Structure formats: structure tokens, C-alpha cells
Amino acid sequence: MVKKIKKTKKKIKKLVKTSRKIKSKKKVKTKKVGTKKSATKKPLKKTRRSNNIKPNNKTRGEKKMSAEALKVSSALDSSHLKVEFPYKAKYGNFINGKFVEPLSGKYFDNPSPISNEIICSVARSNEKDVESALDAAHAAFKEWGKTDITTRSNIMMKIADVLEQNKDMLAVAECLDNGKPIRECMAADIALVIDHWRYFAGVIRAEEGSVAEISNSQYSYNIPEPLGVVAQIVPWNFPLLMATWKLAPALAAGNCSVLKPAEQTPASIMVMMELIGDLLPPGVVNIVSGFGLEAGKPLASSKRVAKVAFTGETTTGRLIMQYAAQNIIPITLELGGKSPNIFFEDIMDKDDDFLDKCVEGFVMFNLNQGEVCTCPSRALVQESIYDKFMEKCIARTKAVIQDNPLKMETMIGAQASVEQMEKIKSYLDLGKKEGAKVLAGGDVGKLNSGLEKGNYIQPTIFETDNKSRISQEEIFGPVVSVIKFKDEAEALEIANDTLYGLGAGVWTRNGNIAYRMGRAIQAGIVWTNCYHAYPAHSPFGGYKQSGVGRETHKMMLNHYRQNKNLHVSYAEKKLGFF
């Protein structure tokens, strides 16, 4: 445990509010921003049924946010995990260090993808709520921006400790909010959340500025300074992790934040703030929930933010760029992908652990229900090994267990929303109409035991070519297009034949092939003999239409800072020009 910061220090007294003991342990969730287009010609209707907002009045009991949890079915029971139901019935916005009612008094219902039961209600914010959050952030920045690095680092380490103490509760909260398997929440999402907070807490302690000697009497000092108040909009596929990817470097660099979670997964972040809110000075982090046009647009287009960071789909990313251009502020965008996962013939030279690893690498398209921007949704398999390798991959895919995400043995859970499930289903229909051969799955998942109304899609393998729409458009589900290639040159041509350039995978026993392909593939990250690795010290971001800038790694700090150059002359004599 990190030692408590001494209250005797005047500087810290200004920054850290009187600590209140955390009474309840809660969980955090997030989701992906932006509405995905259907593969069908007609746009899909909104399927979130519970957006009827009731006025905030005494007669309907809406004056105060309820601390009681809603009653849910046994399908959402987490007692076998020794975790109580993590959500209250209602959450307001987290502004200036406390939870507050939305100024309109409006809320919207938040269903769990597992069964589509309502698990809580969340503030339906508008521009006035965004302005209130910006007021708090600007007031806090006056002190937080000048905080010494040691203080910021210690606070962030304390945040990591508290999250670690409540990791199982947070995992259950994320599972309920997003629908992903609890084993992924525990082993990946929450573990990475904790590690990223610690990473950025540590890396700022080791940083140094630079001094350049211009002459024996002139020196150039380069000092990184925070931008100020930043806007951050996070997606629904990794709610807590994506929030951490943005919050941790922003705070480490000395900024204050107004963050909007995705409306599909707005609740888990509120649970996280219940845990860590007391550790931060009021106003340093503000969370405003709501819909894109009502809350996201006012935040992203505000003239009061110094930067916008967005993760979501490419169409929305273009709008964010337009808003930023109007205000002439920097942005970071992490957008879509259609990542190639390339398997060369030498992987079949031996029937060993490495081959088994390669098969698992193929089946990685099912991780997080395929709702990953870097999902290996195009599998390129060399012709000479195609039949034998695909036999193993199909068998492994059919063995994937789809069940209640709260069960530890479940390997693939529920899609994040009804809308997303319908979008994926439209692509399954499209693939069949295009003539793609279904090698596995190809339909919605039919589950029972209280999961009949949940959002489930079967793990699906299509055999097709790279020109098909299912090979070119981002589906964002557990669907992979398998494409044959003859040689290294053709593999590279197919791999780069896409609008996107976020991630790629190369599987081979030949180091020379691995290096050549890794350098030639147009993608921000190329995994070699592995996939879906997201450590804090590995930069993440894309080429082409997959985004601008990078997430994670210490280089991320400079996305939240600007350089102050102090050019100093120590000479006493004039230059002699005038």
C-alpha cells in the first residue's frame, strides 16, 4: 500500500479534500462510442427501449438518487463470485468531487446485455451539465496544474491500490454493464486498468526535461506543461480500460478532465468514481453521462477544452476532427479497424505447442465478442496448409463456450447492445448473400436459463475473398473472413488492401518473414506470434483511417502536454545590431 500523503503539507491541503472513508465497494463499466451502420440498406431502429425520461419531481420519487439496487433475475446473480450486486438504482453525474442530479432531472435506463434487464438508471445530461463540469475542471486546474509530480504520482498509486482491493467487484460491474465474460474482466480488463494507473504514476517520476547549450552564454530549456482541461469520450467495448487509457496519462501530465462514457455502458465508471473520487481533488475528474448529440457534441465542440480524445467509430471521429479544427485544438483519435491475421505455411512444420498457439491466435477473433477495434477479423491462411490448419481452427471455434458471462467457464458473452447484435446479424445475412461459405456459426446464439432476451451471436467463420463487404467493412462482432494466399507478396497485398491500419498479426517460425511482414504491413501495431496484447508500455494506435496519435506508453504524456521553451541569455553585453 502506498503511504498516506501527509496532511501537514500546505500544498497538499489545497489539493486533497478531506478524506472520507470509502463505505461501499463498487464496480466500473464502459462502452463504445458512436452508432455503427448496418450492412443492410435501411438503417436499424434504435433498440434501447428504456429512454423514456420521467421528470424529476417528488411525486415520482425522483428528487434524490436512490441508494437501493434494482431487483434482477437469477441470470444476473453474482453471489457465486462472492460479490454483491454492484449497482445502485440510479446514478447522477460526478462533478466537482460528488454525485449530482442532472440539471434537467432526466435519466435513462441502462439494461444489461446479458438478459436486457434494467440494472440502473443514469443521468441523461445536456449542454448545461457539460458546462457545469467544465466550470469545476477549470477551477481545479488552477491548483492541479501546478501540483508537484510526486503528489500526482502518489495519488495515482493510491487509486491503483483501491481499485486492486475492489477488483472482483469492478469485474462483475463491467461484466453486467458490457456483457463480456467475467474471466476476461478479471484477467484482462481490470488487471490492465490497475497496471496502467501504476505505470503512469511511475513513469512521470523518472522523466526529465532537456537543456540545449546554444553557446557558452545561451541555453534553451524545454519544459513540458499540461494543456489544461481536456475532453475525453470513451467507447462501450472496454468501458473502464478505455477510460483509464485516457484519464491516467491526462492526470499524470497535470490536466483536468471532463469524460463522457458511452451511453450503452454508462454505469461501471460511476462505480469506479465511488471508489476513487475521494482520492482526487474536487473537479480534477468529472464524469458526465448521456447521449452523443445531447452531451457528447457539446463537450467535443466546446471552446473551453484544450484537447479532445476520442475512441469510437470512424464516422464519429471525422466529426470530432471538424469540431477540433474549428477551435484549433489537438486531438487523439482511436478509430476502426479490419485487421489481418496472417498464417504462413511453416507453422504446420511441427505438431507442437507453437502450432497450438497459432490455432488459439486464429480463434482470438472471439475475444470480447469480437468487439475490439483490432479484432483479427481477416484471417489470411497460406494455400498449402489451408485444409489441415482450418480443420483445427474450426474445431477450436466450435468448442468455444457461449453461456452466461457471469460463469467463469464462459468464453464468449453477450454483444454490448441489441442494436449492435442486430448490426452483426445483418452482416451475417450479407455474407451469405455475397456467396461466402459458412464454416462455423452464422446465426444468433440461442441461449436459455434466463438469457433468451440477451444479445448473443454465434462465433462465425466465413470463407470468402478480400473484396467482399464482410472482408472490408468493420463488423465489430465474433465474425472472421478467411482468405487464402499463395505467397508472401500476395499476403502483404491482401493485408494492406483496406481503409484501416490499426493492428495486424503475423504467425511464422521464420524470423526473416516475420520482420519483413512486420515492417511492410501498414498498421500501427503488428503482433508477431501473438495477438491481443495491450501492456501499458506498448504504444497503441493506427495508420490510415484508424486514427491519429497513440494511446498508452509514456509517449502518450506528450499528447496531453505542450512544450514551453525558455531561451535564456546569460550574456551581459548587447548583440550590437542597434
- Three-class secondary structure assignment of 176-220: HHHCCCHHHHHHHHHHHHHHHHHHHHHHCCCCCCEEEEEECCEEE
83-118: buried (b, 16+ CB within 10 Å) or exposed (e) per residue? Answer: bebbbbbbbbbbbbbebbbbbbbbbbbbbbbbbbbe
Contacts of 511 (CB under 8 A, 6+ apart): none
The C-alpha cell 503488428 sits at 526
375 catalytic residue (yes or no): no
Q: How far apart are CA 391 and CA 30, in angstroms?
A: 36
CB 479 within 8 A of CB 428: yes
334 catalytic residue (yes or no): yes
Q: Where does residue 330 rank: exposed (0-12), middle (13-18), buried (19+ CB within 10 A)?
A: middle
Other beta carbons within 10 Å of 478: 29
Q: How far apart are CA 428 and CA 446, in angstroms?
A: 15
Longest dimension (CA), the chain: 88
C-alpha cell of 577? Answer: 545590431
Q: Indicate which residue of 117, 263, 274, 334 is catalytic.
A: 334
CB 32 within 8 A of CB 423: no
CB 296 within 8 A of CB 290: yes
Radius of gyration of the chain (CA): 25
CA 240 to chain centre: 7
CB 428 within 8 A of CB 464: no
Q: How far apart are CA 373 and CA 184, in angstroms?
A: 17
Q: Indicate which residue of 120, 256, 358, 373 is catalytic.
A: 373
Q: How far apart are CA 287 and CA 264, in angstroms?
A: 15
| Residues belonging to the chain | 578
The C-alpha cell 504467425 sits at 507
Of 411, 27, 90, the closest CA to residue 240 belongs to 27
Enzyme catalytic residues: 334, 373
